[in-house]
């Protein structure tokens, strides 16, 4: 056994504060998109799907992201508002898993974030029927150009189906790589939103 193997690096305490600390380190070390996270959703029948999205806000209330509610993930969220997130920061050899319920963000929050996006990203959101079949890329680009003309000289209006969701965590697991696959894991859980967190180490 190497020196230091017995020292715990994931302490019991506030998991949201620990996430803040790890996320700050990741933003300084990850070469691309430290805010990238895998979002797992499921249909009402429980069939799962997963994709990468970007974290756009986090705090005591939970983890926020934005999407087209007509997309596959949007439809699944509306049908079954239970989801899971995974952050994997390879540069730090760490990952964080989060599970909980999703709720819609206020329209004002969606408006504010949409207004902060690059104009081409705004127009792309207007032009795209996300996840729907597309006959040719040229069709999408023509729709993009039509949207450019529609909003020329003025602000781009947020589509009503483009809005945000927040995952309120009921479980957060932190994983830290250790030599010889003797990894360290700690699971935090709480019975209700705003309640006290309990935690336990897990076998790797």
Paired strand residues for 36: 54
- What is the Cα 13 distance to its own chain's centre? 23
Interior/surface letters 132-152, b for 16+ CB within 10 angstroms, e for the rest: eeeeeeeeeeebeeebeeeee
The single residue of 97, 178, 181, 190 carrying the catalytic annotation is: 181
Phi, psi of 125 (to 5 degrees): -65, -35
Structure token pair of residue 191: 């019975």
Helix, strand and coil percent figures for the chain, each rounded to 5: 30, 35, 35
The tokens 């309640």 sit on which residue? 195
Burial of 161 (0-12, 13-18, 19+ CB in 10 A): middle
| Distance (Å, whole) CA 112 – CA 108 | 6
Active site residue 170: no
Q: Which residues are catalytic?
A: 181
């Amino acid at each position: 056994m190497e020196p230091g193997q017995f020292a715990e690096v994931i302490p019991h305490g506030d998991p949201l504060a620990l996430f803040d600390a790890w996320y700050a380190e990741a933003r300084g070390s990850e070469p691309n998109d430290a805010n990238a996270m895998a979002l797992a959703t499921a249909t009402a029948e429980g069939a799962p799907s997963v994709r990468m999205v970007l974290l756009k806000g986090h705090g005591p209330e939970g983890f926020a992201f934005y999407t087209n509610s007509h997309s596959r993930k949007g439809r699944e969220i509306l049908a079954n508002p239970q989801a899971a997130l995974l952050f994997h920061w390879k540069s730090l050899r760490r990952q964080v898993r989060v599970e909980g319920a999703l709720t819609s963000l206020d329209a004002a929050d969606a408006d504010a974030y949409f207004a902060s996006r690059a104009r081409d990203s705004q127009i792309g959101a207007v032009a795209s029927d996300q996840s729907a079949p597309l006959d040719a890329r040229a069709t999408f680009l023509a729709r993009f150009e039509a949207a450019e003309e529609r909003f020329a000289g003025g602000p781009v209006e947020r589509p009503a189906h483009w809005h945000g969701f927040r995952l309120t965590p009921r479980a957060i697991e932190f994983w830290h790589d250790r030599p010889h696959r003797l990894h360290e894991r700690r699971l935090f859980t709480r019975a209700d939103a705003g309640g006290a967190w309990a935690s336990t180490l897990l076998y790797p």
